[in-house]
Amino acid sequence: MARIEGVDLPRDKRVEVALTYI
């Protein structure tokens, strides 16, 4: 899974962050 905005978080959190940015 690609890093979103260079954020280094667990996959679950990464998905939440991705949805937030989208």
pLDDT band at 15, cuts 50/70/90? confident
Prediction pTM value: 0.26
Q: What is the mean pLDDT of residues 11-20?
A: 72
CA 17 to chain centre: 4
pLDDT band at 12, cuts 50/70/90? low
How far apart are alpha carbons 14 and 1 in whole angstroms?
9
| Confidence check: pLDDT of 2 > 60 | no
| Confidence check: pLDDT of 18 > 60 | yes
Cβ atoms 5, 17 nearer than 8 A: yes
CA 22 to each of CA 4, 8, 16, 18: distance values in angstroms, whole numbers, following the listed order: 10, 18, 10, 6
Nearest to 10, CA basis, from 19, 21, 1: 1
